[in-house]
Amino acid sequence: MTTIESPAVSAGGESLDAFLTTWAAAGEGRDNLARTIAGMAQAGIALSQIIAGGPLNGALGSEVGGQNADGDKQRQLDVIADGLIIDALRKTPTAYYASEEEEAILTLDPAGEYAVACDPLDGSSNIDCNMPIATIFGVFRATPGDATASFFRKGEEQVAAGYVIYGPQTGLLLTLGEGVAHFTLDPATHRFILVSRNVRIAPSTREYAINASNYRHWPDPIRAFIDDCVEGEGGPHGKDFNMRWLACMIGDAHRIFSRGGVFLYPGDDRPGYQRGRLRLLYEAFPVAMLVEQAGGGATDGVERILSKKLDKLHQRTPLVFGSIEKVARIASYFSDAHFERAHSPLFGERGLFHN
């Protein structure tokens, strides 16, 4: 089931600016949100041009000697991306900005109407490999005069979310709470052109994305689900599966939006990984909104992602998202005693990489 439509479009197709203008005209008070989204898109276009030049634009993947707010090493392109986005949002009605690259919330325009949460560059380890990298963002209505309250809320309070993926094409997936639209950057005009108004995720799948090298660290429900997939036609799923892993969550997400699939990044027993490694505010929340708007599901294994409330700015979360049937199946491995495999041959005699 192909879910991102790809009709032939030309530079004369509907642009993102035209799409936002039409959307804003359809309801009162939408202009400022449209301006905020347009600002994020402009930052993505500028970043796309830098990425396209690769090493011709300097050592973009080199470490700059510092760490971001979450303790990860910063790379040159991380810093560039963060700066481009801040500059773009200063021209929009954005009151507050929360970023993976910033220790604290930034105030951009105290009179602004929106609060933008952003991972400026998802998949930084791929910079020098010519593999997918991305920008992720979620938008909330700002709480006047209170930067903390603008973000410390449930994910379902987002009013918009999206990502820009930099790959063979630069793509933008966007939701304004009315489904998911897909745009592709026209390299001739440097405009995002609409290619689908209604992206839908296939409800079932034969593909999963997970870093299988961590198998020994996973909780039992995740290992049980993967073991069952590896059994293929003879297992409880009754079909064979393929595994994919791009080390860029949005790279895997874009494939899931295109043809279905499920992405898993669980918490595990390694120090610092007990609550996973993905950030709730600016990674899980935006992706979960997009996925649900496209008919998929997103959970931490126990709780719906968009029902979770942020308690710490750079809070981490386990994350499973994608085709609704498989997300529900994985959640059942956590909740249903029938899926407890502690004493099963799946663990006692055989595992993902066992003979």
Task: List, for residues 138-175, the tens digit of each pLDDT value.
Answer: 999 999 999 999 999 999 999 999 999 999 999 999 99
Residue 65 has pLDDT above 70, yes or no: no
In a domain, 9, yes or no: no
pLDDT of residue 67: 60
User: Do 334 and 229 sit in the same domain of this protein?
Assistant: yes
- Alpha-carbon distance 94 to 107, whole Å? 8
In a domain, 5, yes or no: no
Identify the domain boundary among 196, 227, 249: 196
Q: Which residue has the higher pLDDT, 322 or 127?
A: 322
pLDDT tens for 22-60 read 999 999 999 999 999 999 999 999 999 999 998 888 888
pLDDT of residue 164: 98
State the angle between helix axes of 31-53 and 76-89 in degrees (0 to 180), rounded to the nearest 10.
Answer: 150
Q: Which of 134-138, 250-254, 338-342 has the lowest mean pLDDT?
A: 338-342
Residue 102 has pLDDT above 50, yes or no: yes
pLDDT of residue 337: 56
Please provide the average confidence, as pLDDT, over all residues in the chain.
91
pLDDT of residue 6: 43
Question: Binding site for substrate: what residues are annotated?
Answer: 122-125, 211
Question: Binding site for Mg(2+): what residues are annotated?
Answer: 100, 119, 121-122, 283
User: Do 172 and 221 sit in the same domain of this protein?
Assistant: no
pLDDT of residue 336: 79
Structure tokens at 273: 């990984």
User: Do 47 and 162 sit in the same domain of this protein?
Assistant: yes
pLDDT interval class at 340 (50, 70, 90): low
pLDDT interval class at 68 (50, 70, 90): low
In a domain, 331, yes or no: yes
pLDDT of residue 69: 61
For the chain, what percent of residues have pLDDT higher than 70?
Answer: 89
Question: Binding site: what residues are annotated?
Answer: 100, 119, 121-125, 211, 283
pLDDT tens for 221-263 read 999 999 999 999 999 989 999 999 999 999 999 999 999 999 9
In a domain, 353, yes or no: no
Residue range(s) defining the domain that contains residue 319? 207-348
Q: Residue 84's closest CA among 32, 40, 29?
A: 40
Do residues 163 and 250 lie in contact, with contact meaning Cβ atoms separated by under 8 Å? yes
- In this structure, the chain runs to a length of 355
DSSP 8-state assignment for residue 4? S
Burial of residue 152 (number of CB atoms within 10 Å: 0-12, 13-18, 19+): middle
The residue with tokens 């999963």 is 208
Number of domains making up the chain: 2
Alpha-carbon separation of residue 197 from 9, 25, 174, 194, 283 (angstroms): 13, 17, 10, 7, 23
- List residues bridging with 114 in a β-sheet: 94, 141
Alpha-carbon separation of residue 159 from 254, 336, 355 (angstroms): 21, 34, 49
Identify the domain boundary among 196, 221, 254: 196
Do residues 77 and 127 lie in contact, with contact meaning Cβ atoms separated by under 8 Å? yes
Structure tokens at 118: 């952003």
In a domain, 63, yes or no: yes
User: Do 268 and 158 sit in the same domain of this protein?
Assistant: no
pLDDT of residue 63: 87
3-class state of residue 226 by DSSP: helix
| CATH number of the domain that residue 317 is part of | 3.40.190.80
pLDDT interval class at 209 (50, 70, 90): very high
Average pLDDT for 292-304: 98
pLDDT tens for 179-189 read 999 999 999 99
- Alpha-carbon distance 19 to 13, whole Å? 10
pLDDT of residue 71: 61
What is the H or E stretch that residue 60 is in? none
Q: Which of 64-73, 86-95, 323-332 has the lowest mean pLDDT?
A: 64-73
Alpha-carbon separation of residue 19 from 25, 174, 271 (angstroms): 10, 11, 46
Identify the domain boundary among 165, 196, 227: 196
Residue 112 has pLDDT above 80, yes or no: yes
| CATH number of the domain that residue 150 is part of | 3.30.540.10
